[in-house]
Every structure is written in structure tokens, then in C-alpha cells.
């Protein structure tokens, strides 16, 4: 299954520094990944900022919600 078929927006940052951005939770090859992307609505562009494997100590089980500090 492709990650695009499994993604969920788990955080949104509408007032991010340069462009509104979104953190996506997705599964690829049975591995959970997070992808942060920015949306340039005026120019209909989507820009991937970063993609990473979430760090278990920072996330609740399932990696959909950050742990409280």
C-alpha cells in the first residue's frame, strides 16, 4: 500500500513562518513516517519540508499525538 493511501493530518500550522504547513502521519512498507509539508496556496505548490521516523520517546503509542512535556 502506498503512503498516500494511509496518510492523516495530525498537526497543522496555519501561521507557520513562511507558508501554512501540515504534519502528516503515514505508513510505508509497514513503517510509520511523519512528513511535514508546506502549502503555497497562491501558486498551487506543495513543498515537502522534511520526512522522518518519529522518535518513540516524543510520541504517544501510534505516533499520532505528541507526549506532554
- Is residue 7 domain-resident? yes
- Is residue 28 domain-resident? yes
Task: Encode pLDDT of 23-66 as tens digits.
Answer: 999 998 889 999 999 999 887 899 999 999 999 999 999 999 99
- Is residue 64 domain-resident? no
Per DSSP (E only), the strands in the chain are: 8-13, 21-28, 31-40, 45-52
Task: Tell me the pTM.
Answer: 0.83
pLDDT greater than 60 at residue 1: no
Structural domains counted in the chain: 1
What pLDDT sits at residue 19? Answer: 93
Tell me the residue range of the domain where 38 lies: 3-56
The string over 20-51, giving b where at least 16 C-beta atoms fall within 10 Å of a residue's C-beta and e elsewhere, is ebbbbbbbeeeebbbbbbbbeeeeeeeeeeee
Task: Encode pLDDT of 6-33 as tens digits.
Answer: 789 999 999 999 999 999 999 988 899 9
- Is residue 49 domain-resident? yes
Nine-digit cell at 68?
506532554
> Cα–Cα distance between 32 and 45 in angstroms, integer?
25
Amino acid at each position: 500500500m502506498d503512503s498516500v493511501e494511509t496518510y492523516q493530518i495530525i498537526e497543522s500550522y496555519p501561521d507557520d513562518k513562511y507558508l501554512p504547513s501540515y504534519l502528516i502521519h503515514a505508513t510505508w512498507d509497514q513503517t510509520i513516517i511523519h512528513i511535514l509539508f508546506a502549502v503555497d496556496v497562491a501558486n498551487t505548490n506543495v513543498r515537502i519540508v522534511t520526512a522522518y521516523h518519529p522518535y518513540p520517546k516524543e510520541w504517544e503509542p501510534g505516533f499520532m499525538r505528541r507526549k506532554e512535556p
